[in-house]
């Protein structure tokens, strides 16, 4: 069935515009092959919005996203805006976008591509056990959305950030964890710090209440510090990890490195509607901006997730993911995944990688 959809596109800062360009080419290739029409609406967010509008996410730009069927984002931020006060920084635009879209569940798959097994920093024997898990991170609660204060007390500067969760916030993300595990290997690991934090004790209690509704899912608990260690010791033990915002932010970056490169990993953020926010998990990589060296695969795979989860276009998403795999089979590598010792590999830039994936999609 032919589909006509509008996608809000936030190119952002640093390598954002370069990687988004390649993802749009891949989306156009999917549209051409399957007879769909995708309309793109550019929206400003991050540093470029500060430069243009004096605000990291003006309401009019958020409205463009709310008026679209889904949202694709590159990355925001960079040294140019680092000196700004907290509520004027590019990252504030990102937090407001997530909250404005109501996307409370961030899903980040961590799996090793067989072609890149050697790029993992883990020992081969650990990689051989398999790395294929998914982190479900709560995205619009916890300390990132708490009250932030800085004051001077008794001649000393003091800063405080409040972490808080309601049981309703925990229950809705907990359900996503259980539902996701049910569609995979049926194992859910709830990660918290219940030996110290009240928020974590509530988290654990609510997850165990929910477990009664999902008898087919095996629930386990793990303290976040132990989880950071277990991810390196034996990642094969994990299927789905569900955790709160701050812990999920840190653990998912750790998980990305296990698979070889942060440039390969997509993410989806969803709430209660089909409109989602799709973005690679890396930042704006200012060190690579404008050099045509960025890996566009994380963004292209994010576009594939958009097709799959927001539009229900499974065959199109499969085709995009297959094209990525075939291009890796052909030995094409951007700098971050290039290993000069690996036979048959060729280093390419961001544009050439994108073009090769598009060619593969056209070839079918
Ligand atoms: P980063 O993810 O931008 O970069 C970390 C390292 O990974 C760098 O060496 C970079 O070159 C490399 N890298 C990242 N993406 C890559 C890609 N696609 N291909 C090849 N290599 C890649 O993290 P950082 O340096 O800590 O942050 C840079 C800026 O990005 C900061 O302003 C930060 O606040 C912002 N940031 C934004 C987001 C977002 O937009 N969602 C997320 C994280 C960081």
For the stretch 295-347, pLDDT in tens is 999 999 999 999 999 999 999 999 999 999 999 999 999 999 998 888 899 99
Ligand 1 in reach of 16 Cβ (< 6 A) = no
For the stretch 49-92, pLDDT in tens is 999 999 999 999 999 999 999 999 999 999 999 999 877 899 99
**pLDDT > 70 fraction of the chain, expressed in percent and rounded:** 100
* pTM for this entry: 0.91
Q: Count H helices and E strands in the chain, helices first.
A: 12, 14
First to last CA, the chain: 18
Q: How confident is the model at residue 137 (pLDDT cuts 50, 70, 90)?
A: very high
DSSP letter for 58, please.
-
DSSP letter for 264, please.
G
Predicted local distance difference test score (pLDDT) of residue 256 = 86
Ligand 1 in reach of 295 Cβ (< 6 A) = yes
Query: What is the distance between the alpha carbons of residues 251 and 235, in angstroms, rounded to a whole number?
Result: 12
For the cut 90, the answer to whether the pLDDT of residue 117 exceeds it is no
Q: How confident is the model at residue 203 (pLDDT cuts 50, 70, 90)?
A: very high
Q: How confident is the model at residue 100 (pLDDT cuts 50, 70, 90)?
A: very high
Ligand 1 in reach of 263 Cβ (< 6 A) = yes
Average pLDDT rounded to a whole number, residues 266-271? 95
Ligand 1 in reach of 76 Cβ (< 6 A) = yes
Average pLDDT rounded to a whole number, residues 102-119? 91
Query: What is the distance between the alpha carbons of residues 231 and 237, in angstroms, rounded to a whole number?
Result: 9
Neighbours of 290 (CB within 10 A): 11
Q: How confident is the model at residue 183 (pLDDT cuts 50, 70, 90)?
A: confident
Q: Which residue has the higher pLDDT, 284 or 120?
A: 284
| Contact yes or no for 332/323 (Cβ under 8 A) | no
Predicted local distance difference test score (pLDDT) of residue 259 = 83
Centroid of ligand 1 to alpha carbon of 285 (angstroms): 4
Tell me which of 73, 285, 337 to substitute to probe ligand 1's pocket, judged by most ligand atoms within 8 Å of the beta carbon: 285
For the cut 90, the answer to whether the pLDDT of residue 284 exceeds it is yes
Residue 319, CA distances (Å) to 97, 157, 299, 357 in order: 29, 55, 15, 10
In residues, how long is the chain?
A: 364
Ligand 1 in reach of 336 Cβ (< 6 A) = yes
Say which of 51, 63, 225, 339 is annotated catalytic.
225
161-169 long-range contacts, CB within 8 A, separation 24+: 163/197, 163/199, 163/246, 164/199, 165/138, 165/141, 165/199, 165/202, 165/203, 165/244, 166/141, 167/202, 167/206, 169/104, 169/138, 169/141
Strand 148-153, strand 266-270: pairing: unpaired
| Contact yes or no for 108/47 (Cβ under 8 A) | no
Strand 132-138, strand 105-111: pairing: antiparallel
Centroid of ligand 1 to alpha carbon of 350 (angstroms): 15
225 is catalytic: yes
What six digits make up the tokens of 115? 């072609």
Tell me which of 245, 282, 335 to substitute to probe ligand 1's pocket, judged by most ligand atoms within 8 Å of the beta carbon: 282
| Contact yes or no for 71/275 (Cβ under 8 A) | yes
Ligand 1 in reach of 292 Cβ (< 6 A) = no
């Amino acid at each position: 069935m032919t589909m006509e959809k509008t996608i809000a596109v936030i190119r952002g800062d640093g390598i954002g515009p370069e990687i988004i360009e390649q993802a749009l080419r891949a989306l156009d290739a999917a549209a051409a092959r399957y007879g769909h029409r995708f309309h793109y609406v550019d929206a400003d967010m991050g540093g470029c919005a500060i430069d243009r509008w004096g605000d990291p996410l003006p309401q009019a730009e958020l409205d463009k996203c709310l008026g679209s069927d889904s949202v694709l984002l590159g990355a925001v931020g960079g040294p140019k805006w680092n000196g700004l006060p907290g509520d004027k920084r590019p990252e504030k635009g990102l937090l407001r976008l997530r909250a404005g879209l109501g996307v409370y569940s961030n899903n980040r798959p961590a799996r090793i591509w067989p072609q890149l097994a050697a790029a993992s920093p883990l020992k081969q024997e650990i990689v051989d056990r398999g790395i294929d898990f998914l982190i479900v991170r709560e995205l619009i609660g916890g300390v990132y959305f708490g009250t932030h204060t800085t004051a001077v007390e008794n001649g000393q500067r003091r800063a405080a950030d409040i972490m808080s969760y309601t049981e309703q916030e925990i229950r809705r993300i907990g359900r996503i964890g259980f539902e996701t595990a049910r569609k995979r290997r049926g194992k859910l690991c709830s990660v918290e710090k219940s030996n110290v934090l009240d928020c974590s004790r509530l988290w654990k209690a609510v997850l165990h209440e929910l477990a009664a509704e999902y008898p087919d899912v095996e629930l386990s608990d793990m303290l976040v510090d132990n989880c950071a260690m277990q991810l390196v010791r034996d990642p094969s033990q994990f299927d789905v990890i569900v955790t709160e915002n701050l812990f999920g932010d840190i653990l998912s970056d750790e998980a990305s490195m296990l698979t070889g490169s942060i440039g390969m990993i997509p993410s989806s953020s969803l709430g209660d509607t089909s409109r989602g926010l799709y973005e690679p998990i890396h930042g704006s990589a200012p060190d690579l901006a404008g050099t045509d060296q960025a890996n566009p695969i994380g963004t292209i795979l994010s576009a594939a997730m958009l097709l799959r989860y927001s539009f229900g276009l499974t065959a199109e998403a499969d085709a995009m993911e297959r094209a990525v795999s075939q291009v890796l089979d052909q030995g094409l590598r951007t700098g971050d995944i290039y290993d000069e010792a690996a036979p048959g590999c060729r280093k390419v830039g961001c544009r050439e990688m994108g073009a090769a994936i598009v060619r593969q999609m056209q070839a079918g």
